[in-house]
Chain A
Amino acid sequence: MTIDLFILLLIGFMLAAGLIAVETSDLLSAVIAVGAAGFALSVIDLLLGAPDLAFPQVLVEIITLVLLIRMIMTRRDTSRQTPRDTLRTAVVLLGGGVFLVAAFLAVVGLGAGATVPAFGEPLLAGGHPGVSAAYLWQFDKDTGVANCVMGILLDYRAYDTLGEATVIFVAIMGGYVVLRKVGRKRQAQEPSP
């Protein structure tokens, strides 16, 4: 129960950090607020007993903070004040309210009962024996690994990992395309219209 309370507090902290990141006018404060939200997420992962997730989360968060602060320190002047827009804020608040109502109905239910399983209940545990239960019973015999998460990632669900690797590959290629030097030079040589 105390762990639930901790997690709710951390989610509140993440919401506050996200709001600060969106609303602040200073780019550096926004980056630091995003970093705070990421570290809170990694603490939530640890509290839920998922070190496999918390570990890369902390690492990626540190690297992203270093990179973003580095970028902001070198090009400080590109920050631009976003105009205040009452209509946009109202639409966002309305959308958030609709989402909260939908989530409440899904978790608590109107009278027919909840459609989402209770917190901490695995989704695929139903049936005989159920996919999650079967994985947990047999993973050492099936895959020969001691870390069940890695057995699922790279043996049972290796196709998903291949998809993730493809996503990283394409994202890195996109970064190279944006940052490549050939295009920069050619653009600099051409007379500007």
Chain B
Amino acid sequence: MKGMTSIVRDVTRLVAGVVMVYGVYVSCTGHLTPGGGFAGGVIIMAGVVMLVLAFGGERANELLAESRCHVLDGSGALAFALVALLGFFAGGFFVNFLPRGRVHQLVSGGMILPANLAISLKVAAGLIGIFLALVLATRQPSSQE
């Protein structure tokens, strides 16, 4: 899969970083505004999809190998399970073990912020990995025929 024209490349170079930072923002403020880990992860993935479509699959594979996506995906899932397991310090599975804090502050809600971050990492890495696998699979002509 080839990249696109230089106009698309330059616009993508300007915009993709902002898109990804917005994704991190959405997943960090899921307990204050609508959004959360899933939406933030999908926004981060959208930024990477822009980069892959504009610069081509080979370049994307150099920057972010698919195997690294597997590791990040698994570690996100592990982190979410770890947040759930740490609730045993307060009495049980998924019990909110951190102090609640004041409502409307960034650091509030106890374990909800780390859980959102873990979900965001998991969703972003998993979907980027699937997207890279699809792009690289369609690049090769199928060998059955």
Contact = CB atoms under 8 A, between A and B. Distances in A.
A144 B110 contact: yes
A175 interface: yes
A56 B143 contact: no
A56 B49 contact: no
A73 B120 CA distance: 30
Contacts, number: 134
Nearest to A153: B36
A71 B103 contact: no
A74 interface: yes
Interface size class of A (residues with CB under 8 A): 35 or more
Interface residues of B, number: 53
Contacts of A168: 122-123, 126
A110 interface: no
Nearest to A175: B130
A166 to B, nearest CB: 8
A75 interface: yes
A151 B131 CA distance: 31
Contacts of A169: 73, 77, 122, 126
Interface string B81-111: 1001000000000101000111110001111
B126 A150 contact: no
Interface string B35-72: 11011001101100100010000000000000000100
Given A147-B31, A150-B30, A172-B130, 15 more contacts: A51-B34, A56-B42, A59-B39, A71-B138, A74-B1, A140-B103, A144-B108, A144-B110, A149-B34, A150-B112, A154-B116, A158-B84, A158-B115, A179-B130, A187-B143
